Chain A
């Protein structure tokens, strides 16, 4: 079997990785599919057919405006993915850079980065995101920025802590003895050895970002109508919690599955990326 075949085979035998990857893939596929096709238009109001229970034609029923719930969920996945990718991207780019800098430079640079992240951690992330969107104004872009900013200290901390452990290793000393500077050591030795930690943290933060987007949208600060979002679907279903609980249950399940899938994926990747378990070629 080829090297790639072995790797894939091993990955699929890892149960949480396989389940997590399947759920995440499902999320991505649904979002991709919704770009091309949905059973109904999620923007089309059909008031006479409002609040229909699940049935043929509307597999998950319709909401209080007569929109098809399945179509809303499919298009809502887009918002979750965009927010997750961009917010985690912002957090990772700045956080990893700051954390690696703190670890390589030590001294005042480390103090500054860590005290700033302490400061950011002192406020609950979701409250800070609410505060930021309140200042910047509601909307998806501002929600992304707010969530992204509060991802920075998370990545900075994780990076610094694991980079410090690498800096203490003998192969870093060996690299210094062969004349490598701090920048090259960071790029060639430190970052490759902590990729798995960062990637795992990335998937977990992706899940948190989806939750945060849902929470902000629920509060009316995130994705704005008519763009569908799982959080707003929850908010709209709230008033009908007792008459039509499935309107809250379906987006709730979507959020839960997306978050679960990403967490399982992160968990599985942490095991699979461990070089000690990597097979020989």
Chain B
């Protein structure tokens, strides 16, 4: 861990207050993030994986400074996003961009492609320069400059996502946050978009934070992965090692749930119960209720995210034992 950190999250906490149900009881709270910390170095990419409701999107919004965390800090290029003034934050925004999940909802239907793509530039360039920048960036995502004056509804889902990616690229940002960038696309188109993302990363030395529930997607694009459960990171490390030998029972269960093209005998570990959104304090390990190897200790003592060597971290009392299991 020697490179320059583009993004550092320090103990991010985000609680939402629910609408009050009773006048006499305090309103409920949803704990969307419960102390999430990580760092992403320049040119690398971190995948965030987890079930829906585990706080992935809240994390993306906190990183994009679209939402203020209840506690903790987000440092982009060493600057605390929530400590900046409004104007400073606006100027810093060109260094981090986001690609949204739904390419049908994230492009304004009334704007031309040229206008959509150049929006992140703000008012920094004149009309001719903007157009040139837009044409250039469209070509780098595999669209044509003649598409500049079209409207989003004239494109397919995959092309729209290319437009969204072009928009994120136009400021030459340091970090791009990808929130489920391919989950709304057809499988055949997913591969094209993922290839494009991988190419662009090499070409422009981009840093990615990619959110997904699809382990295959993360494995394909990212160097490192962080597995989230109930607003916490339960395991993190280089993709290859984590996916080869998971050290947390939850990661193991996620991997077992991935359908394989070659059928065969395998010992599947199924999870009981559903992921619940956390609405109160939890004692002990948050995964204890669903964990296949839960012991009495897990109900009392919350496991900390601890280093396991090989640049890996896991929050399980039995991480070494889980990792040693033959998958």
Contact = CB atoms under 8 A, between A and B. Distances in A.
Given A169-B105, A175-B119, A278 B151 contact: yes
B234 to A, nearest CB: 28
Interface string B100-120: 111001111111000000011
B149 A281 contact: yes
B108 A193 contact: yes
B97 A178 contact: yes
Interface in A183-198: 188-189, 192-193
A178 B109 contact: no
Contacts of A10: none
A180 B100 CA distance: 17
A179 interface: yes
Nearest to B115: A188
Nearest to B99: A174
Query: Which residue, B106, B154, B167, has most C-beta atoms of chain A within 10 A?
Result: B106
B93 interface: yes
A73 to B, nearest CB: 41
B150 A280 contact: yes
B175 to A, nearest CB: 12
Interface string A159-187: 00000000001110111111110000000
Contacts of B167: 174
A276 B153 contact: yes
Contact of A177 (B91, B93, B153): B93
Interface in B254-275: none
A179 B122 contact: yes
A124 interface: no
A180 B105 CA distance: 18
A5 interface: no
Contact of A179 (B90, B107, B110, B151): B90
A174 B106 contact: yes
A193 B122 contact: no
A275 interface: yes
A177 B122 contact: no
A179 B122 CA distance: 8
A141 B101 CA distance: 53
Contacts of A189: 108, 110-111
Contacts of B119: 174-175, 178, 180
Contact of A173 (B66, B90, B149, B150): B66
B194 interface: no
B24 to A, nearest CB: 24
A175 B108 CA distance: 9
A275 B93 contact: no
Nearest to A174: B106
A189 B167 CA distance: 16
Interface in B67-121: 89-91, 93-94, 97-98, 100-102, 105-111, 119-120
A177 B65 CA distance: 8
Nearest to B150: A280
Nearest to B64: A177
Given A178-B97, A275-B151, A193 B66 contact: no
B153 A170 contact: no
Contacts of B150: 280-281
B120 A179 contact: yes
A175 B120 CA distance: 8
Nearest to B149: A281
A280 B110 contact: no
B210 to A, nearest CB: 16
Query: Which residue, B89, B106, B108, B167, has most C-beta atoms of chain A within 10 A?
Result: B108
Nearest to B96: A177
A217 to B, nearest CB: 40
Contacts of A192: 108, 110-111
5 contacts: A174-B107, A177-B64, A177-B120, A178-B120, A179-B94
9 shortest interchain CB distances as A-B pairs? A178-B120, A170-B105, A179-B90, A170-B106, A179-B93, A171-B108, A192-B110, A275-B109, A177-B98
